[in-house]
Structure 1
Amino acid sequence: MRVFLLYEDQDYNFKSHGKYDEEHNENLIKDLGLDVIFEAMAKKDAFIYDIVKKVLLSYENDLSTILYRQDILKDCINNKPIVERIYNLAIDAIETKKKSWLGIFSTNVFSLLSSSVSLLRMFLKFLRELRSISDEYYEKFDSIGFKKFFSAIKEELTEEFFSTAERQLKDLMFENGVFIRARLGQGLEGSDYKLLKPNKKVLIKKRLSKLTFLKPQSYTFSLHPRDDAGIETLANIRGRSINQVAKILANAGDHILEFFAQLRAELAFYMGAMNLYEELSNLNVPVCFPEPYHLDRRVRKFIGLYDVSLALITGKNVVGNELNTIGKDLFIITGANRGGKTTFLRSIGQAQILMQSGIFVPAIYFSANINKKIFTHFYRKEDPQLESGKLDEELKRFDRIVSKIRPNSLLLLNESFSSTNEKEGSEIAKQIVEALIENNIEVFYVTHLYEFAKYFYDQNLDNVHFLRAERKEDGRRTFKILEGKPLPTGYAKDLYEGIFGNQETFVEKYDLSSRV
């Protein structure tokens, strides 16, 4: 049996996924605030945390896989108690094996066989419960993934399977002794030892042999209780006979254990998604299942998109934004300092990763094209060890991005190349961004480089869209990002006056006149 709850035709490989580039993943986590999302999904469960981190950081770019997971998650949300029951069942099966099975410590073949039989008998109880859940709740699920999962259980775990398995496991307890077939080999040594099924006629004769007057003729021998060599020889014969069966049973146990482990891991992702859904529902903030488009499209349409990490940290509703564009490769975002530009940029990246992982996004409505990969290049603080200059550090970090980025990827730039003067920073940004969009890279760029923004605005290109952080006439920030041409100021004076007041207040507050 296979799980197939993250992919339609294969199990999710948790050992290889999510291990692409450690630096790249750490940048995504730091710049987009993903650690807050992981924690909300995990609810202090280390296993779920590890799973959701792997799945989200290995977001998909296959449209059918994304939609496949969306439907499964909808089923999970609608049938949460049932999904939790299956998840806990998988955990119980795994824990039972850990607590009860000692075959791994045994070098004796018969002990290995006995431990494997005991383990499989315990696993049969969990498989029976899984079959019972499938029979009872099959009709409550609508997704292809769960329908296929339950159908496979019904197909494989039939009553005939259970009765046959239980009978065979009972026989392998050897309550009536071990039946062996062998041949004489060279030097009259035994060879081709094989374990036989119990023969009903032989068993009847064995029972009758206890009645002296009905005792059938047979050839037997017995060992003296102190004949250690003879006992060891018989034990070796028995071990050689059951060796193959012991290995098969051990493999069967491993196979069932792998099934439960895979089931637990894949459901852990959906458990995390349900935890996040519940957390956001309690905050009364909107979520929706997005409408993804193919890689080669350029679609960005959303209503009420917000920074989910900020909502989780503050514990309240945050300002959402709207956008409705088709065919745009470059988004240049300018405007007032502390106007919500970075928060907006984070919301774009978060939504993209959540969408491509196959779950809901923080918005009233959201549709966008899929991206091959997602990169961030955010402003970093000065290197405290002074190993390199600020611009040098930015360019080196960007060089590593360029070596990995591919067509149809998404790049989120936040105040990149602002560590030098306006003219040089604008020239660097202009050349880099032109090269990126020529190579079919989708770019969101938050910047105060007015010369750079004006250069693209003056060209009036169809594939470039301009956004600006809204500022009211009284200097108040609404944290709304609206369509608007770039302005030559970030209104830093608003911040100055907010902190220090006007010039007279500043002089009076800090008593600068007495220091002149």
Structure 2
Amino acid sequence: MKAYLMYSNRDFQPGGDLPWGADTLIADLELKTLFATMAQGDAFLYDVARKAVMTSLCEPQQIRYRQDVLRDCVKNASAVRSLYGIAVEAIEIEKKSYFGFFNRYPAAILTTARSLMQSFIAVLMKVRTMADQASGRFHSEGFTRFFAMIQQELADDYFHTLDEHLKELRFRSGTLMSAALGKGNKGLAYVLRKPAQRDRNILKRLFDRKPASMTFHIAERDEAGARALSELEGHGLSLAADAVSQSAAHVLSFFRMLRAELGFYIGCLNLGNTLNARGHSFCYPEPVPANERHHVFEGLFDVCLALRLGGEIVPNDLAATDAGLFIVTGANEGGKSTFLRSIGLAQMMMQAGMMVGATSFEANVCASQFTHYKREEDASMTSGKFDEELVRMNEIAEHVAPNSIVLFNESFAATNEREGSEVARQIVLALLEKRVKVFFVTHMYQFSHGLHETMKTDAVFLRAERQEGGARTFRVSQGEPLETSYGEDLYAQIFKEDRTVSKDHGHTLFEAGSTSSAV
């Protein structure tokens, strides 16, 4: 049995390695906040969310398939959580009998597997009951196929046959098997036999002639004989033990897969509930094929920032088609980095089949996503900061593929503006030539102005807004690069210009521009 709730044609694998650069992407986009909200303290849900988000879907139809399943989950949240609880219950049952599989005796293996299968019957019946009761309320392709599979595979005949087999495997009338003699009278070709059907007439069973047979008895203290008899029985039970244990493992793997796949949607429900509780809206994004260049959205906000702060977050709008380059300039502390992070988060969430923090969102899917952010000075570095930036860029270049997206945040500013601008310009043009979409936040006027003069059609230039007097709106809108980033606004905010002297707990504090002194 397969769930097929995450993919239309394959299973979701919660384990395994993440793509190259995943740790950097998680740090730069602050994705741990997203995972923690989805998990709500559950370590298993955290791992599932992390793997699902970091292994992006690259085909629009795959994204829509998962979105439809998510819509069903939102409409039937209680039923989905109950189904998830059933899967967890089955796994907990297995944990209590887990050690039986390590026993080397077939009889012990058979006993443990049989007991486990007997316990699974009750859980499987709960799944079947839920399929009968809730299937009419689910309309996505994933859930429709899932419930149809449950009703077909777990029919009444299945439970009746399974119960009969498990009763027979108790061998209450002893074990019947056949064998042949090989060289040296060693037994071979052991076959477990099904006992003949017992006659229901008690009188016939009492007075009918018994078939001829030979019987031997083992003394009570004959340990070697008992061991030999146990090994003889084990030869006959071996195939049956393997078959029953494989059946139990198959049922267990189904519940594990069901738990993992439903776990992703439980995480999405947790995230949606948290955003709703804080007054933030979200939407189901519209994915566009990778060979197009499309970025159109309204009310886009940084989900992780909203989750951390809990207050009102300023959203942004954009309508850009046929553009592969986005240059973001403007005032310091004006919201450029937050805007860039919202772009990366929305892309990741869309390609995971999730909701996006926006009123509406449309974008082309990307083969992969990378970030190149400025880093704080590291005393342990053996080379300069600019060299370190180039090394990281070289690593990205080795892994980037056509139709990927790269987010730059104040990159290549560790050297003088002329050199940094030229390096940035050549890297950006090389990426665009390989059909890589680029978002670049920068203060380098020579770099941004030069591209603005030469790229009139394939690029969009955005600028963080600044009101008269220096106030920041934290919105980003289209606008050509300016020579200044208005750093003096921050200076004036931090250092008052009234040239007054204030005292705090006996310590003298000199305001900016002050020429007086105090004793």
The alignment's TM-score, normalised by the length of structure 1, stands at 0.95
Question: For the Cα contact (< 8 Å) 2:497–2:511, is it kept in 1?
Answer: no
Match of 1:509 in 2: 511
Alignment of 1:384-463 (within 5 A): 384-463=379-458
Partner Cα distance (1:403, 1:210) in 2: 80
1:199 pairs, out of 184, 196, 201, with 196
Deviation at 1:210, TM superposition (A): 7.8
2:215 pairs, out of 210, 221, 225, with 221
Alignment of 1:227-306 (within 5 A): 227-306=222-301
Relative to its length, the structure with more helix (as a share) is: 1
Aligned residues: 509
Deviation at 1:224, TM superposition (A): 4.3
Matched, 1:58 2:55: yes
Alignment of 1:110-509 (within 5 A): 110-201=107-198, 211=206, 214=208, 216=210, 218-226=212-220, 227-502=222-497, 504-505=499-500, 509=511
Greater displacement, 420-429 / 355-364? 420-429
Deviation at 1:228, TM superposition (A): 4.3
Match of 2:504 in 1: none
Question: For the Cα contact (< 8 Å) 2:334–2:466, is it kept in 1?
Answer: yes
Question: For the Cα contact (< 8 Å) 1:101–1:119, is it kept in 2?
Answer: no
SS class of match (1:82): helix
Amino acid at match of 2:486: Y
Question: For the Cα contact (< 8 Å) 2:6–2:66, is it kept in 1?
Answer: yes
Which digits, 9 at most, give the CA deviation of each residue in 1:337-396, with x for residues without a partner? Answer: 000000000000000000000011000000000011101111111112242211111111
Deviation at 1:218, TM superposition (A): 2.7
Which digits, 9 at most, give the CA deviation of each residue in 1:413-456, with x for residues without a partner? Answer: 11111111221111111111111111111001111110111111
Deviation at 1:185, TM superposition (A): 3.6
SS class of match (1:323): strand
Greater displacement, 184-193 / 40-49? 184-193
- Change in CA separation of 1:39 and 1:217 when aligned onto 2, cut-off 3 Å: closer
Deviation at 1:215, TM superposition (A): 5.1
| C-alpha RMSD of matched pairs (Å) | 1.9
Greater displacement, 186-195 / 25-34? 186-195
Partner Cα distance (2:370, 2:500) in 1: 44
Amino acid at match of 1:312: L
Which digits, 9 at most, give the CA deviation of each residue in 1:476-503, with x for residues without a partner? Answer: 1000101101100000010000110227
Question: For the Cα contact (< 8 Å) 2:15–2:51, is it kept in 1?
Answer: no
Matched, 1:20 2:14: no
Partner Cα distance (2:209, 2:390) in 1: 94
Partner Cα distance (2:211, 2:124) in 1: 46
Report the identity percentage: 40
1:30 pairs, out of 27, 30, 34, with 27
Partner Cα distance (1:480, 1:437) in 2: 26
Partner Cα distance (2:398, 2:374) in 1: 20
Alignment of 1:79-98 (within 5 A): 79-98=76-95
Deviation at 1:101, TM superposition (A): 4.3
Question: For the Cα contact (< 8 Å) 1:209–1:216, is it kept in 2?
Answer: no
SS class of match (1:200): coil
SS class of match (1:413): strand
Greater displacement, 457-466 / 40-49? 457-466
Match of 1:4 in 2: 4
Partner Cα distance (1:231, 1:381) in 2: 73
Partner Cα distance (1:502, 1:175) in 2: 96
Which digits, 9 at most, give the CA deviation of each residue in 1:126-146, with x for residues without a partner? Answer: 111111110110000011001
Question: For the Cα contact (< 8 Å) 1:76–1:270, is it kept in 2?
Answer: yes
SS class of match (1:465): strand
Partner Cα distance (1:282, 1:270) in 2: 18
SS class of match (2:265): helix
Which digits, 9 at most, give the CA deviation of each residue in 1:151-189, with x for residues without a partner? Answer: 111111111111001000000001121121233444544
SS class of match (1:383): coil
Amino acid at match of 2:250: H
Amino acid at match of 1:19: L
